């Protein structure tokens, strides 16, 4: 029996279009709810002629969304928010008409707009008369969508509602569940390798003391956790923290900036990294010499501590011959935050930089944050909010950017 635990707490947008098999979507909605998913049904106007929205509302506990240009619904969860909320979008049944709309990139109703706007995996289960199914335009549209990464589920073959026999039947619900469970275990960052640095570094002065900073590692760990949940392979290069390694993440524990630099360099040499996120608060400097024994007052000369500069880890990554597709830095600033961050982005040749205001004890060690992400094209703000929510939103934006950059490099 297939493991359906991947549905647990997952946000599913179930698109229902105007086909005779729309009634089976009720059973699908119910089955996904039973295995722990949260289901938001989006119907095309045509679908409402086949099944009443009230049925889906009763099954899912959520009002069905139908209209795109609906100010009341937009005031709640807007269409873009809905697209981002989704861990997976599935259209079942998907009509020939909706297939054509999706294949040509039109977004003239809520469902097709959400489809275009979501970074989540997109699935469709076609269902139509066998003669419609065998039309070459339908085949072409499916090939186009499949080529762009959509998961095509079915169809089945057999007796049809119209009495014909042949391919075009909606897959049975247990089959749909199995296929969706397999896709859910992947996520929008599936197949991507992310390296994330987190925490402070400790720069030893003597065997007992070190030069450190106030970073707790919470933001970097939240990023690693969110990336793993979205299906990425994640390597977390972490300075000393009290945090547990997030599920599904490989942690490389280091102490100093030099250790972190070596770890990151060997990761980039060894494998292809799709995205590097430098969220660690790396010490800019270290004591020039580490005393072999504990320094003693009254015995040792404590009048000065000579410091030398540490390597700039993220700059080294951004300028590496095997540069990751996307290099994202962090800038913890106490003044002129945006101007300083923008200058740092350009100077270090980063793609994105996430600025955060750490003045007056904000951020370090706290559960909340607000990130101002600067790119070559502008600025997006994530938060204020809890670090796990901000991490997920940033990672979803990264998932979109990676697929855009990958598509561009293919053309
Ligand atoms: C009774 C009836 C059943 C239909 N069943 C299907 C079907 O199973 N598959 C399909 O692709 N179109 C079917 N259609 C045609 C669609 O309803 C029509 O193309 C509609 O424009 C689809 O709109 P939508 O894709 O926005 O939901 C059916 C139409 C009627 C009247």
pLDDT in tens, 210-246: 999 989 999 999 999 999 888 888 999 999 999 998 8
Strands 249-253 and 203-204: unpaired
97, 103, 135: which to mutate for ligand 1, most atoms within 8 A of CB? 97
Distance between CA atoms of residues 290 and 165, nearest Å: 81
Q: What is the CATH number of the domain that holds 227?
A: 3.40.50.10300
Please determine, for residue 407, whether its predicted confidence score (pLDDT) is greater than 60.
no
Do 126 and 94 meet the contact criterion of CB atoms below 8 Å apart?
Answer: yes
Q: Which residue's CA is the closest to the ligand 1 atom numbered 6?
A: 19
Rounded to the nearest angstrom, the distance between the alpha carbon of 178 and the centre of ligand 1 is: 26
Helix (H) or strand (E) holding 34: helix 22-34
pLDDT: is 281 or 334 the higher one?
A: 281
Instruction: Please give the average per-residue pLDDT across 116-129, as a whole number.
Output: 93
Query: Is ligand 1 within 6 A of the CB of residue 18?
Result: yes
Peptide bond into 384 cis (omega under 30): yes
For 294-304, how does the pLDDT look when each residue is reduced to its tens digit (9 = 90+)? 998 887 777 88
Q: CB of 160 closer than 6 A to ligand 1?
A: no
Using CA positions, which residue lies closest to atom 9 of ligand 1? 128
User: In this structure, are 156 and 206 located in the same domain?
Assistant: no
Q: Six-digit token pair at 111? A: 């469902």
Q: Is 326 within 8 Å of 398 (Cβ atoms)?
A: yes
pLDDT above 70 (res 86): yes
Which DSSP helix (H) or strand (E) runs through 198? Answer: strand 193-198
Residues 282, 328 within the same domain? yes
Distance from residue 95's CA to the centre of ligand 1 (Å): 6
The answer on 397 and 346 residing in a single domain is yes
pLDDT mean across residues, the chain: 92
179 and 201 assigned to the same domain:
no
Q: What tens digit of pLDDT does each residue of 247-261 get?
A: 778 899 999 999 999
In this structure, is the dihedral angle defined by the CA atoms of residues 355, 281, 348 and 272, taken in order, positive or negative?
negative
Predicted local confidence at residue 1, as pLDDT: 59
| pLDDT of amino acid 411 | 42
Whether residue 307 sits in one domain with residue 386: yes
Predicted pLDDT of residue 410:
44
Residue 379: helix, strand or coil by DSSP?
strand
Residues 28-54: what's their mean pLDDT?
Answer: 97
Average pLDDT over residues 378-394: 92
User: What pLDDT does residue 361 have?
Assistant: 63
Average pLDDT over residues 131-158: 92
pLDDT at 2: 67
Are 62 and 120 contained in the same domain? yes
155 ligand 1 Cβ < 6 A: no
Domain end among 151, 184, 217: 184
Handedness of CA 398, 403, 404, 409 (dihedral sign): positive
Q: How far is CA 147 from CA 63, 103, 104, in A?
A: 33, 10, 13
**Total domains present in the chain:** 2
Does one domain contain both 29 and 177?
Answer: yes
Nearest to 115 by CA among 68, 176, 54: 68
- The larger pLDDT score, comparing residue 302 to residue 72, is at 72
The pLDDT > 90 percentage for the chain reads 71
Same domain as 333, residue 372 = yes
Are residues 252 and 179 located together in one domain of the fold? no
The pLDDT, as a whole number, for residue 239 is 98
Burial of 266 (0-12, 13-18, 19+ CB in 10 A): exposed
Least confident of 137-141, 268-272, 349-353: 268-272
Q: What is the mean pLDDT of residues 87-96?
A: 96
The alpha carbon of 186 and the centre of ligand 1 are apart by a number of angstroms equal to 31
Confidence band, pLDDT 50/70/90 cuts, at residue 177: very high
Q: What is the mean pLDDT of residues 109-134?
A: 94
- Same domain membership, residue 280 and residue 211: yes
Residue numbers annotated as active site: 162
What is the CATH classification number for the domain harbouring 113?
3.40.50.1950
| Residue 362: per-residue pLDDT | 60
**Atom of ligand 1 minimally distant from the CA of 47:** 27
Is 274 found in the same domain as 132? no
The domain in which residue 227 lies consists of 193-410
- Do both 86 and 165 map to the same domain? yes
Q: Which two tokens stand for residue 327?
A: 């290099």
Residue 70 has pLDDT above 90, yes or no: no
pLDDT greater than 80 at residue 406:
no
What pLDDT shows up at residue 324?
Answer: 97
Confidence tier at 202 by pLDDT (50, 70, 90): very high
């Amino acid at each position: 029996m297939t493991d359906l635990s991947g549905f647990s707490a997952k946000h599913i947008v179930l698109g229902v279009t105007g086909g005779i098999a729309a009634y089976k979507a009720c059973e699908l909605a119910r089955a996904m709810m039973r295995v722990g998913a949260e289901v938001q049904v989006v119907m095309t106007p045509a679908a409402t002629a086949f099944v009443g929205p009230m049925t889906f509302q009763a099954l899912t506990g959520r009002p069905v969304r139908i209209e795109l240009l609906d100010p009341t619904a937009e005031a709640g969860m807007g269409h873009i928010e809905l697209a981002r909320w989704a861990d997976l979008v599935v259209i079942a049944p998907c009509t020939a008409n909706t297939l054509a709309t999706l294949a040509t990139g039109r977004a003239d109703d809520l469902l097709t707009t959400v489809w275009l706007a979501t970074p989540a995996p997109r699935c469709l289960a076609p269902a139509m008369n066998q003669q419609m199914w065998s039309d070459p335009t339908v085949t072409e549209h499916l090939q186009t969508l499949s080529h762009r990464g959509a998961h095509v589920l079915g169809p089945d073959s057999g007796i049809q509602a119209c009495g014909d026999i042949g391919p075009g039947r909606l897959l049975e619900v247990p089959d749909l569940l199995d296929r969706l469970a397999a896709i859910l275990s992947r996520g929008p960052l599936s197949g991507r390798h992310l390296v994330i640095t987190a925490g402070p570094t400790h720069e030893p002065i003597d065997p007992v003391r070190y030069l450190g900073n106030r970073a707790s590692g919470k933001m970097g760990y939240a990023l690693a956790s969110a990336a793993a949940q979205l299906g990425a392979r994640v390597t977390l290069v972490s300075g000393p923290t009290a945090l547990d390694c997030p599920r599904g993440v490989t942690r490389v524990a280091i102490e100093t900036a030099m250790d972190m630099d070596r770890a990151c360099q060997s990761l980039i040499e060894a494998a292809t990294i799709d995205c590097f996120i430098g969220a660690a608060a790396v010490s800019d400097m270290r004591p020039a010499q580490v005393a072999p024994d504990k320094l003693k007052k009254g015995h040792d000369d404590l009048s000065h501590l000579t410091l030398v500069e540490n390597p700039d880890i993220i700059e080294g990554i951004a300028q590496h011959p095997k540069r990751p597709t996307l290099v994202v830095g962090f800038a913890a600033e106490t003044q002129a935050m945006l101007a300083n961050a923008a200058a740092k982005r350009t100077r270090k040749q980063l793609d994105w930089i996430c600025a955060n205001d750490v003045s007056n004890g904000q951020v370090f060690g706290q559960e909340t944050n607000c990130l101002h992400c600067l790119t070559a094209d502008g600025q997006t703000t994530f938060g204020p909010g809890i670090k796990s929510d901000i991490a997920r939103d940033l990672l979803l934006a990264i998932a979109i950017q990676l697929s855009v950059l990958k598509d561009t490099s293919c053309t």
